Structure 1
Amino acid sequence: MTKTVLVLVESVNEYLPILEDSGFRLILAPTPAMRAEAVATRGGEIDAVLTRGPLGLTAEEIGALPGVGIICVIGAGYEQVDLLAAEARGITVTNGAGVNAPSVADHAMALLLALVRDIPQADASVRRGEWRKVTRPSFANKRIGILGLGSVGMAIARRASGFDMQVNYHSRSPRQDVDFHYCATPLALATESDFLIVATPGGGATRHLIDKAAIDALGPQGFVVNIARASVIDTEAMIDALQHGRLAGAALDVFDDEPQVPDALKSLNNVVLTPHVAGLSPEASRDTVQMVANNLLAFYAGKPVLTPVHS
């Protein structure tokens, strides 16, 4: 019997035929209105849900989908999926951990380069007919701190090593398979870094790991890049530091209330902003949807899923 997947994501339409070719029927609901209508009127048809971290799936929605046995999350983050409600129903949850790591790491380095070397402002000055020359820091022998040394963090570390940077990191525990320098706390990491890249999942456990103290430790010559989740950084403290010269610059691909971006950030010239696109590339999108298909096929064949998520 064909299984029906409710698709809440909006960014991988080109690759959804991978799921159809694997034998699944799709209900597309990429807007809040379509989502609410699908859950309310077609809830009994739905066997699986495809979502992403910020879109999530609420306990109320899970309760309205009596046939759902599996929730597949695109990307590594799953912060808005109610894992407790899923667990109470015996629903399997999977994510796409590691699949888009190369794309995210590329974007993180692109943001860091653009920020530190002041590329957006230089570009704008040339377009205005100016010939503005500003001396900016180089990368060799700088200390880069990576918060979260999972698949994305490791991919960033490898790229940073190619720029002759010293790699420091903090994660829940030291990794035994790397030679990078481990810092015991996020504050220690910030203290020992010139550039800080946030690459850890969102959620309550990582909320405001980069707080005012860490931002101040990074200091007026320090730069921060966030390609993970906005909640990991205290946004208000970061904006205040950027406004008052206590932080040299920030490059952000994620925001607290997407797609809303604080006007204060948009008004600053020491900030680079992108619309949560770090994980988007043709390769990453294709591989992410293929991972979803593989997890669904394994689940319905009674086999272990490839990337399970536990509460």
Structure 2
Amino acid sequence: MKKVSVHHVAADAGVSTATVSRALNDHPTVTAETRARVLASAKRLGYTPSFAARSLRSRRTGVLGLILPSLRNPFFPELIDHTTRAAERVGFGISLAVTENAEQHVLSMAGQGSVDGIILVGTDTDPEAPKRELPVPVPLVSIDRAPRGIATDVFQVDNAEGARSITEHLLALGHHRIGHISGPIGTEVGAARRGGYERALRSAGIPVDPTLIVPGAFSERSGFAATRILMARENPPTAIFAANDMTAIGCLSALRQQRAAGPVAVAGFDDIGLAGYVWPALTTYRQPIAELAVRSVERVLHGITVGTAIPRALARAPTLIPGILVVRESTLDPHHPLIPLPQGAS
């Protein structure tokens, strides 16, 4: 079957091919009567406009780039879902890239013109790299962490406030020896959460004990290993604040295996989907994932609409969005007996 082209539609509607193009793109110079006639001809003939051709003419792709460092942490797939939904509601698709070299991928995406804007998620780049603007006008926004080598607007949960809230919750339960499994050394998010933990201790008149702080890697494995280190201390903690939920899940596993002499409260950060279904259900600080996604998409779309790459201010402070403390069974009263393990658990 012969492919229907714009020339066939033009002949059927009795207009020029330029008028067909303008009518299909809702150009204001085309009258309502002419537009209706062109659309009727296109429908009758089964004509489908070339998306690639329309993209070339409008210099728009209808696609937003979404770049993540990994999919292992359930936080990232949840964010992908919310970002995709937010983009679809305004007529954009998502081009997903998972890479550890985010800065180079941003420059590649922007240089190829394959996307109209880019959203970076959870990316830490070279801390010594000077911030610079993208060489082409593509709006760029970051979620969760600020890339250190690229100028960008950042939307993130208030990490310091969340960590402070969790630590104060543990203090209110009567814990004075609160261990902390931090994020990777050198990460902005890890430093902010550790800072909130330390400030809460100092505000309560409790000195920060460096032997109760062990670096982790935002993973179950690192949480498991760090917990074994903490519980082997001569005076181990009675509560542990893990820098994220995956770390906290590893922590719970280590505590079950070690069968600690007394109850050890555990709290995480993020409130991933698994947090409410592990045993015991995990106390955590819920990230406003949906709002982070929506705000980021809106900011990128603003940049696309005004036709400039944003941001231009290299020293722009992150937009901090508050989360919610979610209290579950993992933060027991220190005088409460240990919850017995489920039958068959080890």
What TM-score does the superposition give when structure 1 sets the normalisation length?
A: 0.43
What TM-score does the superposition give when structure 2 sets the normalisation length?
A: 0.40
Structure showing greater radius of gyration is: 2
